[in-house]
Chain A
Amino acid sequence: MRLEPIARPSATRIAGLPALALVGTIAIAMALAALAGADPVHVIALIVKGAVGSSFALLETLNRATPLIFTGLAVAVAFRAKLWNIGAEAQLYLGAVATVALGTGALALPAALLIPMIMLASILAGAFMLLGPAFAKTHAGVDEVVTTLLLNFVVLLLVSYLLEGPMKDPAGMGWPKSERLVAEARLPRIVDGLRLHWGFGIALISAVLVWVMQTRTTLGYQIRAVGLNPKAAAFAGIPVSVVVIKTALISGGLAGLAGFSEVAGLKGSLTLDLSPSFGYTGIIVAMLALLNPLGVVASALFVAGVFVGADSMSRAVGVPSYIADILLASGLLFMVLTLMLTRYRVRWD
């Protein structure tokens, strides 16, 4: 078997193959539903209904999508430069830690000053988290996949320590939980009475900013060049290490914002279950969006919908909600396969 590049793929190929990936993914979900003894069509319908079927469901999906937009952007930015940041989870938590550190009364400022300051701090915290692995990559040739992965565990232990020690809520009845943010540090809702906070708005703005950065600035051009061919980029005078470090700062900062948005917008305090794998799910979000920052918004909404819908479906008919994770993981694999097949033809000689 051999892969042969297709000079000019046809429109049916470009549109049809990813559609096939979607069909395959849904087929797997239906098979799993049947395996669990439920009516497959009903299960799919319940997932869709649970995701977008009511204004409550829709708001829930938007809220769930918010951190995923941030982590998805973080991954998308980093992967463009072939910086394999699998540590968005750690960066998110450090951003949340920074939010709690400044937002629980340490600074007595009006909201208009406090919120930007906390945002900045969470960006810096997330960026700091990725700096180490990025330096190790550029200066010692250490593969960042493993270092960022391992740091996720380290940071979770650090947060566990903070929540049982210095950041522990005295009124928390022994639960590892931080104090609640002061009112001035909380992100307001976008529309009064609707359960959707400004974190979503900041996420959308971030997506647009990242898109502008990638397509319009010299840094964006350099990031793409470094990602596609670091040797050629270095030859042409692009400082590859510097670009990788800058990318790491942006990527880590975006993931740090996810932690800020979750604490300041939704939860109000930090717990050890702040992120149900938002960092790892960001990889799926970014890949499904083909690393396009605007696409990340759409794919985060889709992924969030699948999770929210599956939760609601699971409560109704008892099919384990892990069906959502399987769906997304297989969807990701189908997607990368079919995308490759839009550019290459399989020849059996």
Chain B
Amino acid sequence: MGNLHEPRPVLRLDGITKRFGALIANDAISFALYPGEVVALLGENGAGKTTLMNILFGHYTADEGQVTMAGAPLPPGQPKAALQAGLGMVHQHFTLAENLSVLENITLGTEALWRPSCAARQARSRILDLAARFGLSIDPDTRVGALSVGERQRVEILKALYRDARVLILDEPTAVLTPQEVDALFATLTRATAEGLAVIFISHKMHEVLAVSSRVLVLRHGRLAGEVATIAADAQTLAEMMVGGAVDAPIHRAGDPGEARLALDHVSTVETGHRGSLRGLSLTLFAGQITGLAGVSGNGQAALADLIGGLALPESGAICIHGEPVSDWSPRAALAAGVARIPEDRHATGAIADFTLTENAALERHAEAPLSRGGWMNWRAAQKEAEEIIDAFDIRCPGPDEPIRRLSGGNMQKLILGRALAPGPRIILANQPVRGLDVGAVAFVQARLIAERDAGAAILLISEDLDEIMEMADVIHVISEGRLSPAFARGAMDAAALGAWMAGEGFEGSNAA
């Protein structure tokens, strides 16, 4: 460090190219990164960001091109060398071992494996010192499993700082934070760059990119599609650079709410694993309305989704469908009651990877006519239904006999959506319906949801992305530690105000509706 005034790049990429079979994931990418700057890397899913980062960190070797750190070439394919050269990365999916303490996670791999002891005392004081310097307060002896998402991110940043990182790469760091936590993160980044660190900020949220970076690099189809100084950029042009054409912002029309379709009456659940729990929560979903549920992940969204989806029963309180309390509640009962469910994790719960499209399309209704009768499957009928979904939802695939694992995330999500919407649902549970999808698929899914609302469905939209909630929802609730905020009308609250609720403020004294 200390080279602040010399314009020598700390990191330099020259003509990085990586092919996977016929696909060119990275195509001759070159750029330089200077100490003390924040560069935003913007790109859609599949634009090549992840591959590029994997090459930087030696998880992949590039077919062509070279990475240089502070003037010295980085040996390809050696993660250890990348770390030692001062590259640090905070992945979107944290790489932390939950059974270990904060200190153990940070020191993991920093000492020679064959040392007969760990230098825990020195490590602790160094961590506390770094934490104070960069505004990342944390207790080094807490088990990571007990930390909140925001705290875990601090541990990830400390991991990089502890290794004297000179380049810090953050992959979608704000996706899981409250607006207040985002501000704290940006404050940390400011301190870091002031000390000479260079930061690569990977994101698809324009306003954050504009707020935090000094330069923006845009990746599209594996190529560097453009580079602009942030001062000279605006959200619309960046979006067009990213997608490679004009972007139509979805136009929201107000919904026309009807009768109450589903009501949760003071429901509480017991904590199971990391699903969070609900504490006396009441919520009503109305026909023809999208109810948005904002909140930091792990605050009970999963428990709420399980409840509405029929996977769990409340410990106390009642679920009412069309005003009638349900007694026998299961996924099948939920489906029979007209609840369509789009699960949070399409790979883990939404689909069976090795099943064909036909078999996946049949999953929720395989035990009823016409798909089966008397315990015998009617595969011809199942295939016909699958073909109808493929047509209606424009799923790109060779045919209904294709295993679903060969489909892109967007096409997989379209099948799940098609399967859920086929019976003409009256209630729709959409849990993170567009996470990880490319722009085209996002627009498609959102348009379908709005169409279902207009057709009279009651929709609960759960998302950690506050922008998505504010864009799509007619009314917004915030969930925090299993409690629900009052309903806020669309546009009644700005991001900062909702963020305060997300951080748990305002719940005391309010009569959560």
A: residues with CB less than 8 A from B are 4, 7, 216-222, 224-225, 228-229, 231-238, 349
Report the minimum CB–CB distance from A348 to chain B (whole Å): 9
In the bound complex, residues from chain A placing their C-beta under 8 Å from that of B364 are 236-237
Q: Which of B77, B359, B366 contacts A218 (CB 8 A)?
A: B366
Contacts of B377 in A (CB 8 A): 216-218, 220-221
B455 to chain A, nearest CB (A): 24
Q: Is the interface of A mostly helix, strand, loop or mixed?
A: helix
Query: Shortest distance in angstroms between B421's beta carbon and chain A's nearest beta carbon?
Result: 15
Chain A residues, CB < 8 A from B375: 217-219
Q: Closest A-chain residue to B330, C-beta based?
A: A237
Closest chain B CB from A213 CB (angstroms): 10
Cβ-defined contact, A231 with B348, below 8 A? yes
Cα of A2 to Cα of B270 in the assembled complex, Å: 41
Q: Are B355 and A225 in contact (CB under 8 A)?
A: yes
* 4 interchain residue pairs of minimum CB distance: A237-B331, A236-B363, A237-B332, A349-B61
Name the distance in Å between A38's Cβ and chain B's nearest Cβ: 44
Q: Which residue of A lies closest to B331 (CB)?
A: A237
Contact in complex: B366, A228 (CB < 8 Å) = no
Quick check: B309 and A228 within 8 Å, CB to CB? no
Q: Which residues of B contact A234 (CB under 8 A)?
A: 311, 331
A237-B311 Cα distance, complex, nearest whole Å: 8
Give the complex CA separation of A235 and B420 in angstroms. Answer: 12
Answer whether residue B367 sits at the interface, using C-beta atoms and an 8 A cutoff. yes
Q: Complex: how many Å from CA A4 to CA B363? A: 28
Residues of the B chain whose Cβ atoms lie less than 8 Å from the Cβ of A7: 21, 406
**Contacts A218-B367, A221-B377, A232-B349 hold; do A237 and B335 have CB atoms under 8 A apart?**
yes
Beta-carbon contact of B376 and A228 below 8 Å: no
Q: Compute how far the CA of A7 lies from the CA of B331 in the bound complex, rounded to whole angstroms.
A: 33
Measured between beta carbons, the chain B residues less than 8 angstroms from A216 are: 376-377
Bound state CA distance, A289 and B210, in angstroms? Answer: 59
Query: Would you give the shortest CB distance from B88 to chain A, in whole angstroms?
Result: 22
> Provided the pairs A234-B311, A237-B310 are in contact, do residues A228 and B367 lie with their beta carbons within 8 angstroms?
no
Known contacts A232-B352, A235-B331, A349-B61; is-contact A217 B376 (Cβ 8 Å): yes
For B309, the chain A residues whose CB sits under 8 A away are 235
Interface hits, B359-378 → A, CB 8 Å? 359, 362-364, 366-367, 372, 375-377
For A236, the chain B residues whose CB sits under 8 A away are 331, 363-364, 366
CB–CB A221/B359 < 8 A: yes
Binary A-proximity of B95-108 (CB < 8 A = 1, otherwise 0): 00000000000000
- Distance (whole angstroms) from the CB of B419 to the closest CB of chain A: 9
| 9 pairs, CB–CB < 8 Å, chain A vs chain B | A218-B366, A218-B375, A220-B377, A221-B359, A228-B352, A229-B352, A233-B363, A235-B350, A237-B367
Complexed CA–CA distance, A283 and B359 (Å): 27
> Given the interface contacts A218-B367, A237-B331, A349-B61, does A225 sit within 8 Å of B343 by beta carbon?
no
Residue in B331, B353, B362 whose Cβ sees the most chain A Cβ within 10 Å: B331
A232-B335 in contact given A221-B377, A237-B330, A349-B60 (Cβ < 8 Å): no
Which of A220, A222, A235 contacts B343 (CB under 8 A)?
A235
Closest Cβ of chain A to B488, distance in Å, is: 30
